């Protein structure tokens, strides 16, 4: 990572982090990094007025989200946020959080999390100097374009947050389609890719892999994910392949046109390790079908890297795929909720993103550019050199 000890600007405002329900553990990790960095950071200006509140025991602002018996809720912020540079963490897909409604416990839906986000912004009541929403997986991110008479929920969400509620910046990770930012062209929108963290996790957890064109290949499971796969293949120096999804456009099941078949386009994969790259694992059916096709083409080991592991239909299909030798490892980030059952699986690796988020928050709070954080080429080269996959002169 670059040298974050040498900030050239004063903080934009006192730093405050609000963790919505379900984000408490992730926020605590971020907070630990920020507290330790700022205590260790040596500056002659550290105790001057512009740096007031710079070094604290915690940057997490105490907030509660009580519910009435009907399920209606509200947000109560229990300390001042006047003049603060506030970062709100929202995991819209954490169904592990429940609330009580009419005596029954109900898991929180994405709509419930989004409502809590709006409540938090409303409770701030315009007193913060700046509000940044960190929503790792965009609420309704898959509903990003209109193909018939249907709602455009993600664009509506961004417009409501930025134009009506006063949010200055939105930070998300591996957006399903980053062009949704066109809904709010005058506001900050950062689409962060966890490429470096994925490659680092693979280097740590697969000690016997060979990263070269003769032994490894990058595969996109569909045409929509080619851009992220092109980046992976270029920084690793690997060949690229793609599966084309043939859909039945005469049929709609669960709001989508079902996939009829996966057709492979690319070089020979026989005897090669394969990395399948995608933004999310929803049901996982497509991933397993792609892995099955690759095994039929005599691929060696199959590794799956996805930013978000939803596993909407449970883990049984992946357990079977692992037992049958179809997949070797699945890597997803801890940016969204992971069940204890998933974390216990032998085939699963959780990629920690808390340190990276801490760097982003610390840099933005100093109102400095995050361009060096969003372009990880040098860090990827360094990690490949560290684990012996590249020589220094190849850098």
Q: Which one of 22-26, 149-153, 223-227 scores highest in mean pLDDT?
A: 22-26
- Tracing tokens 């957006």 back to the chain, one arrives at 175
**What is the pLDDT at residue 249?**
66
The string over 30-65, giving b where at least 16 C-beta atoms fall within 10 Å of a residue's C-beta and e elsewhere, is: bbebbbeebeeeeeeeeeeeeeeebeeeebbbebeb
26 by Cβ neighbours in 10 Å (0-12 / 13-18 / 19+) ranks as buried
pLDDT at 304 over 60: yes
Given this model, what pLDDT does residue 25 score? 96
- Cα separation, 49 vs 142, in Å, equals 45
Residues linked to residue 373 through DSSP beta bridges, in sequence order: none
Q: Is the pLDDT assigned to residue 1 strictly greater than 50?
A: no
Which band of pLDDT confidence, cut at 50, 70 and 90, is reported for residue 143?
Answer: confident
* Full-model pTM: 0.92
In the predicted model, is pLDDT for residue 139 greater than 70?
A: yes
Identify each DSSP E strand in the chain by its residue range: 14-19, 63-64, 76-77, 84-89, 98-101, 104-107, 130-134, 169-173, 188-192, 216-220, 239-247, 259-265, 273-281, 302-309, 329-333, 348-351
Q: By mean pLDDT, which of 4-8, 221-225, 316-320, 349-353 is the weakest?
A: 4-8
State how beta strands 76-77 and 63-64 pair: antiparallel
* Residue owning tokens 């926020």: 27
* Cα–Cα distance for residue pair 196/353, rounded to 1 Å: 10
DSSP 393: G
Encoded tokens for 384: 């490949």
Task: Tell me: pLDDT of 217 over 70.
Answer: yes
Structure tokens of 379?
A: 């860090």
Can you give the pLDDT at residue 106?
95
User: Judging by DSSP bridges, how do beta strands 104-107 and 98-101 pair with one another?
Assistant: antiparallel
Average pLDDT over residues 162-176: 96
pLDDT at 393 over 70: no
pLDDT at 2: 40
- Pair of tokens at residue 126: 């315009």
pLDDT at residue 263 is higher than 90: no
- Average pLDDT value for the chain: 91
Confidence (pLDDT) at 3 = 44
The β-bridge relationship of strands 130-134 and 104-107 is: unpaired
Find the largest Cα–Cα distance for the chain.
68
d(CA 173, CA 279): 9
Q: Please say whether the dihedral angle defined by the alpha carbons of residues 161, 165, 170 and 173, taken in this order, is positive or negative.
A: negative
Does 281 have pLDDT greater than 80?
A: yes
**pLDDT number for residue 175:** 93
Residue 330 has pLDDT above 80, yes or no: yes
**Could you report the per-residue pLDDT of 331-354, keeping only the tens digit for each?**
999 999 999 999 999 999 999 999
Helix (H) or strand (E) segment spanning residue 39: helix 24-40
Per-residue confidence at 96, pLDDT binned at 50, 70, 90?
very high
Is the pLDDT confidence value at 213 over 60?
yes
What is the pLDDT averaged over residues 240-244? 89
Residue 71 Rama label (left phi>0; alpha psi -120 to 50; beta):
left
What pLDDT shows up at residue 298? 94
What confidence category does residue 34 fall into, taking pLDDT thresholds of 50, 70 and 90? very high
Confidence band for 395, pLDDT divided at 50, 70 and 90: low
């Amino acid at each position: 990572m670059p040298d974050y000890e040498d900030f050239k600007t004063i903080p934009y405002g006192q730093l405050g982090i609000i963790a919505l329900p379900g984000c408490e553990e992730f926020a605590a990790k971020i907070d630990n990094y920020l507290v330790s960095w700022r205590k260790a950071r040596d500056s002659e200006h550290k105790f001057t007025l512009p740096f007031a509140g710079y070094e604290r025991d915690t940057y997490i602002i105490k907030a509660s989200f009580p519910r009435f018996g009907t399920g209606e809720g509200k947000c109560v912020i229990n300390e001042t946020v006047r003049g603060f540079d506030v970062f709100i963490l929202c995991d819209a897909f954490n169904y592990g959080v429940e609330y009580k409604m009419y005596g029954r416990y109900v898991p929180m839906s994405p709509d419930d999390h989004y409502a809590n986000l709006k409540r938090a912004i409303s409770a701030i009541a315009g007193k913060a100097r700046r509000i940044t929403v960190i929503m790792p997986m965009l609420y309704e991110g898959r509903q990003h374009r209109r193909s018939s008479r249907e709602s455009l929920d993600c664009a509506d969400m961004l417009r409501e947050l930025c134009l009506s509620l006063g949010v200055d910046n939105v930070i998300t990770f591996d957006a399903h389609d980053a062009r949704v930012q066109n809904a709010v062209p005058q506001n900050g929108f950062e689409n962060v890719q966890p490429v470096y963290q994925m490659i680092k996790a693979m280097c740590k957890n697969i000690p016997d892999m060979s990263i070269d064109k003769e032994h490894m290949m990058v595969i996109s499971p569909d045409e929509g994910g080619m851009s992220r796969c092109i980046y992976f293949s270029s920084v690793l120096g690997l060949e690229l392949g793609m599966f084309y999804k043939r859909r039945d456009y005469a049929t709609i099941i669960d709001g989508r046109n079902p996939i009829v078949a996966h057709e492979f386009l690319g070089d020979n994969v026989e005897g090669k390790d394969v990395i399948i790259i995608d933004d999310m694992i929803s049901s996982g059916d497509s991933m397993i079908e792609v892995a099955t096709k690759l095994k039929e083409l005599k691929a060696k080991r199959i590794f799956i890297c996805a930013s978000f592991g939803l596993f909407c239909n449970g883990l049984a299909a992946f357990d079977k795929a692992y037992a049958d030798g179809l997949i070797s490892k699945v890597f997803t980030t801890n940016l969204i909720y992971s069940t204890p059952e998933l974390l216990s699986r032998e085939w699963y690796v959780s990629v920690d993103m808390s340190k990276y988020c801490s760097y982003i928050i610390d840099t933005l709070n100093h109102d400095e550019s995050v361009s060096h954080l969003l372009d990880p080429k040098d860090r990827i080269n360094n990690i490949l050199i560290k684990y012996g996959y590249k020589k220094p002169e190849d850098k």
